[in-house]
Amino acid sequence: MDTATLKQFACGEGASLVGIGALDRLAGIETDPADLLEGFTNVVSMAVALSNPIIDTISDRPTPLYASHYSRVNAMLDTLALKVTRFLEERGASALPLPASQVLDSIKNTSFISHKAIAVAAGIGWQGKSLLAVSPEYGPRIRLVSVLTDASLEPDAPLRNRCGGCTRCTDACPAHAIKNVNTDSHYDSRDEALHFDRCVKHVREVCVAMEHIGTSICGVCIQVCPWGQKIGSARSRARLR
């Protein structure tokens, strides 16, 4: 299957970024169920850029505009994944779309698989100190979705970590959850980068109770990241790699 054609289709359906990850790069990753990746060889990672003006309404807390936008973009991502799945299946491949935002284990706060880990493996971005995938084009101002497939596709190369000595997300985190630990590729565990329990407690107990929020989101580390701020309103259009 022609990888460029697949990417063009996904971008035409609303993806801002598309990357292909070989599943052997994700060996050992936790999945639910444990055999989720069996029968597949690649994964299509797709990102939709968040609205700059909406993200810029965030200061030290989420805003009602962000809460609504977050929900709408997740729905858009799920539709995008279904369309890409159909595209692959119509060309003889097997494909499995994974929901953009569905928590299966409320204690560990995990889903079927980490979309962020997939995005890093697929060259969408690098793993930032906040654990978010940070892309050169949009910073962490993206939401992600993934489609597993057995289609023969050309994987993208992972990106070099570019967080360096920046401490913006660490300094701004209202839960004091980010440890300011850097990584060349990815963290061995979430606890290496975060006081994860602090982050979860803040979004579940503080943010969710805020007026007109009602969901477990924060967004502060997204808003302050220089990689998102420096692009500003002059965002490049979808990158086909």
Residue-level pLDDT, tens digit, the chain, 241 residues: 899 999 999 999 999 999 999 999 999 999 999 999 999 999 999 999 999 999 999 999 999 999 999 999 999 999 999 999 999 999 999 999 999 999 899 888 889 999 999 999 999 999 999 999 999 999 999 999 999 999 999 999 999 999 999 999 999 999 999 999 999 878 888 899 999 999 999 999 999 999 999 999 999 999 999 999 876 544 433 434 4
Task: Determine the Cα–Cα distance for residues 116 and 43; give it in Å rounded to an integer.
Answer: 12
The 8-class DSSP code of residue 12 comes to: H
Q: Which range marks the domain in which residue 128 is found?
A: 3-229
Task: Determine the Cα–Cα distance for residues 72 and 186; give it in Å rounded to an integer.
Answer: 29
Q: In terms of pTM, does the model score above 0.85?
A: yes
* Residue 237 belongs to a domain: no
* Residue 240 belongs to a domain: no
* Overall number of domains in the chain: 1
Cα–Cα separations (whole angstroms), residue 92 to 10, 38, 95, 150, 198: 17, 18, 10, 10, 46
* Residue 238 belongs to a domain: no
* Residue 65 belongs to a domain: yes
Task: Determine the Cα–Cα distance for residues 61 and 207; give it in Å rounded to an integer.
Answer: 7
The partner residues of 97 in beta bridges, in order of sequence, read: 147
H helical segments located in the chain: 3-12, 52-55, 64-89, 115-121, 168-172, 190-193, 196-201, 220-224, 226-229
* Residue 236 belongs to a domain: no
The 8-class DSSP code of residue 136 comes to: T
For residues 238 and 15, the answer to whether their CB atoms sit within 8 Å is yes
* Residue 93 belongs to a domain: yes
Alpha carbon 177 to its chain centroid, in Å, reads 19
Give the HSE-up count for residue 71: Cα atoms under 13 Å, Cβ half-sphere: 10
Task: Determine the Cα–Cα distance for residues 88 and 10; give it in Å rounded to an integer.
Answer: 11
**Residue 46, φ and ψ in degrees, nearest 5:** -130, 140
* Residue 123 belongs to a domain: yes
Task: Determine the Cα–Cα distance for residues 113 and 104; give it in Å rounded to an integer.
Answer: 10
Task: Give the largest CA-CA distance in the chain.
Answer: 49
* Residue 164 belongs to a domain: yes
**Residue 223, φ and ψ in degrees, nearest 5:** -65, -40
